[in-house]
Amino acid sequence: MRLTIGKQILGACIIIVLAFTGLNIYTFYQIKAIEAGYEGLINRSAPLVFEVKDVNVELQNQAAEVRAYILTGDDRYVARYNASREQMAKVLASLEKKLTTPEGRQKFHDLNAALHEYHKIPDAAIQARRTQGMAAAVDYMKAGSSKIDYAEQQVADFVQFLSERMELRKQQNQEVVNRLERTILILDATIFALALGAALWLARRISRPLVVVANGAKQIADGDLQKHEFAYNGRDEIGELVEAFGTMATNLRQLVGQVARASEQVAASSEQLTASAEQSAVAAGQVAETVSGVAAGALRQTEAVNQAVAVVDQMAAAIGHIAANATEVSAKSEETAKAAATGSEAMTEATAQMEVISRAVSQSAQVVQKLGASSKQIGEIVNVISGIAGQTNLLALNAAIEAARAGEQGRGFAVVAEEVRKLAEQSQEAAQKIAGIIKEIQAETDTVVQVMSQGTAEVAKGSQTLTATGERFRHIVALVQSLNQQIQEISAAAEELAASSSEVVSAVGGVKQVADETAAHTQTISAAAEEQSASMQEIAASSQALARMAEELQAAIRNFKL
């Protein structure tokens, strides 16, 4: 499977996003658990204490109403006593519905039984006051004082039981908060280490081979074409870039070597062509002299013809050699042009790969910025926790004020309100700690973005170097194409010269065969000699131009180190 740079960056970012998402989900459910704990403490446990306090208040009110009736005999106090009992019954019914644990129900059963025994004493005292008088009623009250004390003790025990349950719930909530703090701290450190490690790993994996390639491209741009080794075996875009760059360097080294050898051959051929042209010019002059002396004598004519045949044969051989060299040089030039075009295409492909890598690095920086946005969402959740803690603190303060108004009877409730306030303050402090941790994560996320920006700059620098090298390749292609055109012109001129040489040979053969037609053949030979002289001048000019181009090409090649 081909694992590209884009897939590697996307995979690392997905892992980090999933880690942050898991942390957010875990934090959300833990916050819900804390909210449920606070809700149970405020909406269930605290109201139970309040209702038991109401039972105690009604119990005291009933005792006061009974004593007032015994002293005054006024039935209004009896009515108030009965109303208080009805109110107590309602409170007890509500309290029984809210108790869910077996232990709580047992405590309620004991309290209800004690109150039932307690109410027998006031009922008997009221009846005795009506039938027997005040003294009898007082005796009933004194006789049942132990049951009254027992009922009050049961109320106090029940309050103590509910207070202990509230304290247990408070400890459980505190344990959840402490566990959440530790877990978030550990997970944040782990995610930060994961994100930083992934960023450093990707930065090194991208920058190191690019630096090597950039250095190699700079050396090639400076003319150093010696063998370069690139130790990278990845199957991603960078691996393809390194492989393409290595192939390009090898092809370029071979190309420049071929051009150097071809330029040397062209220089040698141009020198040989110049020498042959000079020899042909001399031969043409000799032919002209021979033709002008034909009229002087047949013997001299025969000797001149033989000499002309030898010279023409030598010229034909030289022209054939020149044509063969020109054809070979033309083929080498075409191969050189193809190799140079291949190198230019490799540079274009390498530049495109650099652009793909640059876009991948930019996308990774955007993903890391999204991670910073997720951290901000966690901060908003922490603010919600702080708001809940503040509201709880305000409720505890209001409850303490109400307990202070109740005086001695509200003292126990004041203690509970103070514990609730402390718990709210502890929760608010924990939320502040979590907010601090989130800020640290955001700061480290900014650091990762800076690292990715540096990687983008390195990629841009490498792309510029490859572009400069591509320009040099295009210049080499232009030089080779110009050289190929000149070589083709020389080849055409050599073919024309070969045709002219054939005509000269044919004319000289006619002179040897038919001595009587010497005059007519002399005119033909003279015309052929003039045409040959003109062709030799063209060949000399072309060979000089070819020599100059070969010198320019060799000067350009000397800028490279093979």
Place of tokens 């393409």: 244
pLDDT in tens, 450-480: 766 776 677 577 667 767 766 775 775 676 5
Residue 81 · residue 126 · CB < 8 Å = yes
Question: CB under 8 Å to 200, separation ≥6 — which residues?
Answer: 451
pLDDT in tens, 305-347: 567 557 557 756 765 775 676 577 567 767 756 765 776 676 6
User: Where in the sequence is the domain holding 259, given as residue range(s)?
Assistant: 1-35+182-562
Asked whether the predicted pLDDT for residue 127 surpasses 90, the reply is yes
Residue 137 · residue 125 · CB < 8 Å = yes
Residue 395 · residue 420 · CB < 8 Å = yes
Q: Has residue 88 been placed in a domain?
A: no
Highest mean pLDDT among 156-170, 235-249, 346-360, 469-483: 156-170
Q: Has residue 136 been placed in a domain?
A: no
Asked whether the predicted pLDDT for residue 216 surpasses 60, the reply is yes
Q: Has residue 414 been placed in a domain?
A: yes
pLDDT in tens, 145-167: 888 888 888 888 888 888 888 88
Q: Has residue 145 been placed in a domain?
A: no
Q: How many CA atoms lie within 13 A of 1 on its CB side?
A: 4
Between 430 and 466, the more confident residue is: 430
Q: Worst-scoring range by mean pLDDT, 86-100, 117-131, 257-271, 372-386? A: 372-386
The CATH number for 377's domain is: 1.10.287.950
Q: Has residue 112 been placed in a domain?
A: no
Phi first, then psi: what are they for 500, rounded to 5°? -65, -40
The pLDDT value given to residue 108 = 86
Q: Has residue 152 been placed in a domain?
A: no
Long-range contacts at 542-546 (CB < 8 A, ≥ 24 apart): 542/273, 542/486, 542/489, 542/490, 542/493, 543/270, 543/271, 543/273, 543/274, 543/277, 543/490, 544/270, 544/274, 545/486, 546/266, 546/269, 546/270, 546/273, 546/486, 546/487, 546/490
Residue 317 · residue 506 · CB < 8 Å = no
- Chain centroid, CA 491 distance in Å: 59
Q: Has residue 106 been placed in a domain?
A: no
Average of per-residue pLDDT across 220-248:
71
pLDDT in tens, 60-119: 899 899 999 999 989 999 999 999 999 999 989 988 888 888 888 898 898 889 888 889
Asked whether the predicted pLDDT for residue 525 surpasses 70, the reply is no
Confidence of residue 420 (pLDDT cuts 50, 70, 90): low
CA dihedral sign, ordered 272, 273, 276, 277: negative
% pLDDT > 90, the chain: 8
Confidence of residue 358 (pLDDT cuts 50, 70, 90): low
Question: CB under 8 Å to 429, separation ≥6 — which residues?
Answer: none
Confidence of residue 413 (pLDDT cuts 50, 70, 90): low
Q: Has residue 216 been placed in a domain?
A: yes
Q: How many domains does the chain have?
A: 1
Asked whether the predicted pLDDT for residue 486 surpasses 90, the reply is no
Angle of the 145-221 helix axis to the 102-131 helix axis, nearest 10: 150
The pLDDT value given to residue 9 = 77
